[in-house]
Structure 1
């Protein structure tokens, strides 16, 4: 498992980790090792027996050291694994504190990762500028392949005075990022599926022939239209 956080996500995670005194010592150590401002956190994990894990960790440390990586031990990784499935429940606490949080994801070729990542983040940061609202945005790469990587972005914004206005803010953010993705060689969804929110952007990504093919398959295998019609393709 490889999870590479950009600088803003790294800073955010360290701020949310608690234990400010220990984090302060960690920051001092990283500064001394040349990993100060702008540092990025790579979380690395393997499964297997103890010997396999030790060999994998040794190999990983050798590669990362060659690129200026600083090994910080296993505590941060263990804490991430321990709290991984608690993170979704933070949304309720954030809402109570006056913030809305959402995520979106895509994938693209390696040559386009940095370019698309920056465009997505900028589109989200600017989407509510007309209202004078700021958006906190950060990203990590959560799935890596020989050809490219996923890009998984989190954004936090303030709700408006009522539900319809808050929904309009979310729609503006979602549209800005989605349009940026399909206009810049990203896929509208990586592992989360498509569905109603992403379906309007499929034509731009796949083209008319691909959508006609999906429509034909749907008519052939689901002639009665029972399988959630209107979700992926128009009814």
Structure 2
């Protein structure tokens, strides 16, 4: 088994006033040669956007882009004609494929919106762009992991991604224990602690810490406080 520990305090950070962003991997002005990607996982940005502000229309291609709101209302518009709002409990994905333009903004002027922006390298390049979003019951992740992103060809219940990747969210009570079986052959898991404190395979992790785990089939998770955990199960080679 291989592990790599990423402390929350060692993430990249950029505060643009309207946008306060923490980068788990090299992004924009933050470059760390030891944090380029974890397998097919390329970007994990922890973003806070001021009221009424947002990202103007910009392009993407050949990348799987997942947005997970943590609080507030995030408005999305794209060149496929989608205009939507996503909120906590929902997950959005864009397969950028041959190319797409989109914008994201905080729909509300009186409060911030917080969300995770995650990029995964695709399995197939130059596919037709696609968009999907889905609402999940937060109650269904109490002391267990709920699949919210899964491969397009699977029947695992998540929004479909063009990669052999699964994202799972769990809300764990203090003292609870659970195991997670890695789903993809030769995959690894990047565990990101949204809130609380957990121990994964003996490694203690706090809020916004992360642990990459590979070359194993199962991971053991114990919560030492009420915790919210995101697991990103991705191919280590692609």
TM-score normalised to structure 2 length: 0.24
**More strand by proportion, 1 or 2?**
2
Q: Which structure would you say has the larger Rg?
A: 1
